[in-house]
Structure 1
Amino acid sequence: MPVNILLVSNSADERQKIIEALSEFNLLTASSEEEVKQVFEEHEDIYLMLLDVDTSAFDGTKLLRFLKSDEKHKYLRTIVLSDCDQRGKAVEDLTLGIVDCKQKPLNFEFLRAKVRIQAEMIKCQETIRKQAQDQTMILETIFEQVPIGIGISLDEDSDLGGANKLFSYNPEFVRICERSKEELMNIGWNAITHPEDLAEETELFLSLMRGEINRYSLDKRIMIPDGSFKWVHIISVPLHFSETDGFHYAALMQDIDKEKRTYDMLMESERSKSVLLSNLQGMAYRCKYDRDWTMEFVSSGCGSLCGCRSESLLNNKEFSYNELIAPEYRERIWRDWEKALAAKKRFHHEYEIIDANGARKWVMEMGEGVFNEDGTVEALEGIIFDISDRKAMENKLR
């Protein structure tokens, strides 16, 4: 069953990147509150929404309240996309159907894994609802074969504490935890949860028990028998059995250890790169291969080198980098870049610029081309240093 997913963002660039990353899914798009309402009128089978809240075009919380006020959208799940960490509002937002929050810049592999989890959940729920007459066979098949760990508590006094003899685990849950069903039932949920994650989940679980929220999801660490841990994504929902008292719930688990560790490594790499660039005595850049040298990225060293804010150069907002190059060097630099790219060699050149404040400076540029698979130039990347002091010293020594 294809799952319709609605992507809501007023950033065309962000929408395109997400569409490409989630190409395996049936993605609908909207960029305004009016378009969102229109899409829901035209499609009644939308159960997952990716909502970019970093916009002044509409109020994301207000939009969710409007949708959840309609009985048709009570099963709508929402993944929030934001520049800032939204997890602190988890309990409040879960009442609006928010099941996850992804912080920008987005790790698209990680986002894809999260969407797959929600899509699998939606598929399971819809399959169960539409084929209720054969639910026993379907439930058993899903429970045993679905590639998501499922644990169901049948104990009337369910909690996260000790042993739970009435907890049922499917094969995938057992595989992820690397423990037998008997061991899982004997040691309980707390024992396999990393101590640093226990308080957060306990708070969410108690809110679930009190009926304050209808589900919760989080990334947590579970302890493996050898003393190590792995990252998993958990979704917990209450279960209501007819003629049965007590609190029952299901916990769905997916192994995201590889994606999480890759993401953490990427973030650490980005942090290290940011520290390096901020301390660099020059300007790192990425630009288009055009006559303006249209800048797509410049480091913070732009201020001291070019005498302007980075934003002034990006996409030629106020002026292009070519306008800063002293006129007598422009054609020579273009020809030297042509030669370097044709030979797929590194570019190295010393020339003069006239910064935004009118100061003339000697600079040294080192860069290289970034090529597509077909060999065409996608962009240029490199670094530009201020060598005015060196040039002044050379002139004195002549």
Structure 2
Amino acid sequence: MTNKPGEARESSELAQLHREAKEREHFIEQIIELTPVVINVLDLVTNRDIYTSRDVATLIGYTHDEVEQMKDRVSTLWHPDDVPRRREHLARWQTLADGEIFEFQFRVRHRDGRWRWLETRLMPFSRSEQGDVRQVVTATLDVTARKQAEEALRASEERFRRYFDLGLIGMAITSPDKGWIEVNDEICEILGYDRSELLGMTWAELTHPDDLPADVAHFERVMAGELDGYSMDKRWIREDGQVIDTTISVTCLRREDSTIDCFVALLQDITARKRAEEALAKSHVELEQRVVERTKQLTTVNEELRNEIAERQRAQEKLRRSEAYLADAQRIAHVGNWAWNIASGQVLWSLETFRIFGLDPDSFNPTAENTRSLIHPEDRAFTEQVFDNAVAERSNFEAFYRIVRPDGSIRHAQGIGHPVVNEFGDLIEFVGIVIDVTERKRAEMESQALKDALAAELAAMTRLHDFSIRLLASTELKPLLEEVLNAIIALQNADFGNIQLYNRDNGALEIVVQRGFQKAPCNSGNACS
């Protein structure tokens, strides 16, 4: 039996069409398997999958067959909070036009028990004879990592915003062209400008002219990629013309291509501290001047005493220079921030806080108990009482205490805290800052020691001056010379000494008064020391 030519040609064309359809189907399947999403065709009438790509197991941990065998896969897999929204989605799907895409996110429980965030995009695939959407095609992607990153970023931004708005320290966000992008109330208070005025200016316009070159030099090094931030002391000119002293710390935020997006600046007003340092320096100068004046009155006593006074003055100058160097070191401010959640007990520290305590962020967990162990034993009861009162009264607190670092070194710290309450007035957490004030404490103690030493020396010199006046007016020299010798020994911090007179008749030095030893008179054959 033979086929007619027309039938053979038609059969060949059908075979060709079948092969092409198979090839297209294979091509589509290969593309689906290569994409990082799960493709699915869902029948809305039967609520069953018509087609699911093989990657579904990597998405939720269950195979397609295991999912199909579930009695109610939505209640089994979906998060309870997301199930009601699915009913709303089903109603919305029925109204989709051909080619219209609907997108939503939901959570499912993975086989390992963890919740995973999925994102699905779907569109109509087929309709009933009445035109209702019968089947939809979906593309689903695991977005858990992205959601976690978004949540971490949101929490980080929320913490930053909280510190920014609290006003514990001046904070600002500035642009690469030196403009103010955002400022908190404390910055406005320090600089004396309204926020609207400040945002229309640059920080260079407000910087003291003598400090601007150094600030710009640091800024340009950051812009060039040599640094990521810098700290310095600088002066500002307030809106009322007043010059104020501050310590600033600046850090840049870079984009993925390393260009600078913005700067974050911390600013602390240290004008009062500066003025106190200047007043202290002035008092030192006045005290030194008084010492010089007293010294001039003693130059008639003897050359040895004048040499001693000159040596003492050189020692005082060394102390003054040492204090100046220490004052320079005080200007380097270290400020860290922290947060303590009352309910969970979770404590968060910034990197600078770890540095102040001398700890490694990767190996130390800053719990409340661990933090307590770092405070000097003599200061723990006091700091606990201050903090307990602040918790009970929901009030700000400030405390000065000592820190014992892991290497045994002791640092002085200033802690400032602020309570955070919810809309019902419940205490949620405390946030605050810690400032390393070790250098300031050391400077204060050394300054007091210097004052005490200078006062003691001035008293001794005054005694010597009084002795010299009495010596010139007295006919009884020995009692006065004994007092002079005792004063000189005390001033020199010596154990013994004597006063000798030269005898012109025999060419010998004769001891007039002595204390602490016996020694033969000096003559031409007997050396004296």
Show the counterpart of 2:138: 251
Moved more, 299-308 or 337-346: 337-346
Show the counterpart of 2:122: 236
Assess, with a 3 A threshold, how the Cα gap between structure 1 residues 276 and 369 changes in structure 2: closer, same or farther: closer
- Which of the numbers 146, 155, 158 marks the counterpart of 1:268? 155
8 Å Cα contact 1:150/1:170 also seen in 2: yes
- Which of the numbers 228, 237, 246 marks the counterpart of 1:363? 246
Assess, with a 3 A threshold, how the Cα gap between structure 1 residues 223 and 358 changes in structure 2: closer, same or farther: same
Query: How far did 1:265 drift?
Result: 0.9
8 Å Cα contact 2:96/2:123 also seen in 1: no
8 Å Cα contact 1:302/1:309 also seen in 2: no
8 Å Cα contact 1:217/1:236 also seen in 2: yes
Instruction: Find the aligned partners of 1:148 and 1:142 in 2 and give their Cα distance.
Output: 11
Query: How far did 1:236 drift?
Result: 2.7
8 Å Cα contact 2:103/2:122 also seen in 1: yes
8 Å Cα contact 1:158/1:248 also seen in 2: no
Instruction: Find the aligned partners of 1:286 and 1:206 in 2 and give their Cα distance.
Output: 46
Query: How far did 1:231 drift?
Result: 0.9
Instruction: Find the aligned partners of 1:371 and 1:236 in 2 and give their Cα distance.
Output: 37
Instruction: Please tell me whether residue 383 in structure 1 is matched to residue 270 in structure 2.
Output: no
Query: How far did 1:308 drift?
Result: 2.9
Partner-residue secondary structure (3-state), 2:112: coil
Query: How far did 1:204 drift?
Result: 1.5
Instruction: Find the aligned partners of 2:82 and 2:183 in 1 and give their Cα distance.
Output: 39
Partner-residue secondary structure (3-state), 2:111: coil
Instruction: Find the aligned partners of 1:356 and 1:135 in 2 and give their Cα distance.
Output: 74
Structure 1, unmatched stretches of 5+, are: 1-130
- Which of the numbers 199, 202, 213 marks the counterpart of 1:320? 202
TM-score for the superposition, normalised by structure 2? 0.41
Instruction: Find the aligned partners of 1:246 and 1:335 in 2 and give their Cα distance.
Output: 67
Partner-residue secondary structure (3-state), 2:82: helix
Instruction: Find the aligned partners of 1:345 and 1:370 in 2 and give their Cα distance.
Output: 8
Query: How far did 1:364 drift?
Result: 1.6
Assess, with a 3 A threshold, how the Cα gap between structure 1 residues 191 and 238 changes in structure 2: closer, same or farther: farther
Assess, with a 3 A threshold, how the Cα gap between structure 1 residues 335 and 265 changes in structure 2: closer, same or farther: closer
Q: Which amino acid aligns with 1:329?
A: D
Structure 2, unmatched stretches of 5+, are: 1-19, 284-529
**Deviation string for 1:241-299 (max 9, x for gaps)?**
67799822223201111111111111111111111222243333454677xx4445544
Instruction: Find the aligned partners of 2:64 and 2:45 in 1 and give their Cα distance.
Output: 19
Show the counterpart of 1:217: 103
Instruction: Please tell me whether residue 207 in structure 1 is matched to residue 117 in structure 2.
Output: no
Instruction: Find the aligned partners of 2:50 and 2:218 in 1 and give their Cα distance.
Output: 71
Show the counterpart of 1:227: 113
Instruction: Find the aligned partners of 2:207 and 2:39 in 1 and give their Cα distance.
Output: 63
Instruction: Please tell me whether residue 158 in structure 1 is matched to residue 46 in structure 2.
Output: yes
Instruction: Find the aligned partners of 2:42 and 2:216 in 1 and give their Cα distance.
Output: 69
Instruction: Find the aligned partners of 1:172 and 1:389 in 2 and give their Cα distance.
Output: 67
Show the counterpart of 1:108: none
Show the counterpart of 2:56: 173
Instruction: Find the aligned partners of 2:257 and 2:118 in 1 and give their Cα distance.
Output: 39
Q: Which amino acid aligns with 2:41?
A: I
Instruction: Find the aligned partners of 1:264 and 1:335 in 2 and give their Cα distance.
Output: 38
Query: How far did 1:356 drift?
Result: 2.7
Query: How far did 1:190 drift?
Result: 3.6
Query: How far did 1:237 drift?
Result: 2.4
Assess, with a 3 A threshold, how the Cα gap between structure 1 residues 174 and 241 changes in structure 2: closer, same or farther: farther
Show the counterpart of 1:30: none
Instruction: Find the aligned partners of 1:275 and 1:254 in 2 and give their Cα distance.
Output: 34
| CA RMSD of superposed structures (Å) | 4.1
Show the counterpart of 1:305: 190
Assess, with a 3 A threshold, how the Cα gap between structure 1 residues 200 and 307 changes in structure 2: closer, same or farther: farther
Assess, with a 3 A threshold, how the Cα gap between structure 1 residues 215 and 325 changes in structure 2: closer, same or farther: closer
Q: Which amino acid aligns with 1:174?
A: A
Tell which has more relative contact order, 1 or 2 (C-alpha 8 A, sep 6+): 1
Q: Which amino acid aligns with 2:103?
A: S
Report the identity percentage: 18
Assess, with a 3 A threshold, how the Cα gap between structure 1 residues 333 and 185 changes in structure 2: closer, same or farther: closer
Instruction: Find the aligned partners of 2:103 and 2:254 in 1 and give their Cα distance.
Output: 41
Aligned length in residues: 257
Instruction: Please tell me whether residue 146 in structure 1 is matched to residue 35 in structure 2.
Output: yes
Partner-residue secondary structure (3-state), 2:140: strand
Query: How far did 1:376 drift?
Result: 9.6
Instruction: Find the aligned partners of 2:96 and 2:259 in 1 and give their Cα distance.
Output: 58
Show the counterpart of 2:368: none
Instruction: Find the aligned partners of 2:151 and 2:111 in 1 and give their Cα distance.
Output: 24
Instruction: Find the aligned partners of 2:204 and 2:86 in 1 and give their Cα distance.
Output: 55
Show the counterpart of 2:25: 136
Assess, with a 3 A threshold, how the Cα gap between structure 1 residues 354 and 152 changes in structure 2: closer, same or farther: same
Assess, with a 3 A threshold, how the Cα gap between structure 1 residues 243 and 175 changes in structure 2: closer, same or farther: farther
Q: Which amino acid aligns with 1:250?
A: V
Moved more, 355-364 or 255-264: 355-364
Show the counterpart of 2:68: 185
Assess, with a 3 A threshold, how the Cα gap between structure 1 residues 300 and 167 changes in structure 2: closer, same or farther: farther
Instruction: Find the aligned partners of 1:239 and 1:373 in 2 and give their Cα distance.
Output: 40
Instruction: Find the aligned partners of 1:341 and 1:212 in 2 and give their Cα distance.
Output: 52
Instruction: Find the aligned partners of 1:321 and 1:391 in 2 and give their Cα distance.
Output: 22
